Structure 1
Amino acid sequence: MSIPNIITLARIILVPVIIWAIASNEMEIAFAIFVIAGVSDAVDGFLAKRFNMASELGALLDPLADKALLVSIYVALGIWGAMPRWIVILVVSRDIMIVSAVIVSWLFDKPVEMKPLMVSKLNTAAQVALAALILASLGFGFKPMPYDAVLMGLVTVFTLVSVSLYLVEWIRHMSTIEAN
């Protein structure tokens, strides 16, 4: 177990803590934990690359930790009423569709190579920025407008474009399966 993997596991453990903070209306704590999670993501990535500690486990755990954190925060903020439900549904549905496609690919013994597209990296950055803005505005009592609308627009566009591109690539990949 490498140091980057331990940091990633710690980030996964932070997920229920941040959800507790949101559910308990402890938004300053939720924001602080979110910042800690973001810094830990950068640190584990830096360590893995800089000191050649990258591993297959880390390659699976890191995006899982990111998705667990973001999806949980979006759902919690949606339930809490701080995030529009339509954007929560959009973000969560995209991730469900991608995970479902990967599972179907495995079931057909035709696993897809899991490498993120640039638009997906932009999508993640926009999702992180929106979640941070909403958490900060709730924790420190300021109005997030108009930045929240701009970020929601970016999240919407990047989410729709990325899921479309992944779907096209997945269909292309799966179309090579022969019927029995």
Structure 2
Amino acid sequence: MRHIPNLLTVLRMLLTVPLAWLLRDGRFDTALIVALVAGFSDALDGFLAKRFSWQSRLGGLLDPVADKLLLIACFVGLAEVGALPVWLAAVVIGRDVVIVSGAVAYHNLVGPLTAEPSLLSKLTTTLQIVLVLATLLHLSRFAEWPTWFNLALLSAVTFTTLASGIDYVVRWSFKAWRETHPQRSDPQ
């Protein structure tokens, strides 16, 4: 039973393929349903892991990977059909590449890494999800948004994505510096 959260996470990863295919084919109603199922599975696996103490190191690694795969598939798919700007997809993917590259470098050069998402990073992910869902709702014709709402959401996602990417680089660079250059006490 304790592996159910990890199985849900793997399911979420597998949903990336049909989601990307549906977006590319312009089947936005079905893509919205798949995205909602993925979101529900994310909430469910988190709830189960915490409620029954089924957390695992593997789950801690797989969960953010599944989230990133889905978001990247959505941003690329929505940019491909012209629903989101290509440059925004590049910013979102670029941030994730920088974070993953930094994490690998830290692990290899400094030592074991414990994932510590910041509040800004959580806000960024939340805004990215809201933008994807709002765009899918709009494309599915379930909801119409005023132009100012779309521009505000695009601006917020752009700003927080860039800011959180910079924040990760600065924070983890300082942390790596402190780990590799410990303070020396003055001999007296």
TM-score (norm 2): 0.89
Measure how far apart 1:109 and its partner are.
4.5
Alignment match, 1:96: 97
Deviations 1:76-129 (A, max 9, x none): 111111101121111111000000101112221423321100011110010000
Alignment match, 2:171: 169
Letter of the 1:173 counterpart: K
Q: 1:19 and 1:135 mapped to 2: Cα distance? A: 13
Number of residue pairs the alignment of both structures matches: 178
Q: 2:49 and 2:154 mapped to 1: Cα distance? A: 32
Deviations 1:106-161 (A, max 9, x none): 22142332110001111001000000011111112654333221211211121122
Given the alignment of the two structures, is residue 79 of structure 1 paired with residue 86 of structure 2, yes or no? no
Alignment match, 2:14: 13
| Contact in 2 for aligned 1:22/1:30 (Cα 8 Å) | yes
Provide the aligned C-alpha RMSD in A: 1.5
Counterparts of residues 30-109 of structure 1 (less than 5 Å): 30-109=31-110
Alignment match, 1:137: 138
Letter of the 2:18 counterpart: V
Where structure 2 has 5 or more consecutive residues not aligned to the other structure, the ranges are 182-188
Alignment match, 2:150: 148
Where structure 1 has 5 or more consecutive residues not aligned to the other structure, the ranges are none
| Contact in 2 for aligned 1:71/1:92 (Cα 8 Å) | yes
Is the partner of 2:15 in helix, strand or coil?
Answer: helix
| Contact in 1 for aligned 2:26/2:81 (Cα 8 Å) | no
Is the partner of 1:113 in helix, strand or coil?
Answer: coil
Q: 1:97 and 1:37 mapped to 2: Cα distance? A: 25
Q: 2:73 and 2:112 mapped to 1: Cα distance? A: 27
Q: 1:165 and 1:112 mapped to 2: Cα distance? A: 17
Alignment match, 2:185: none
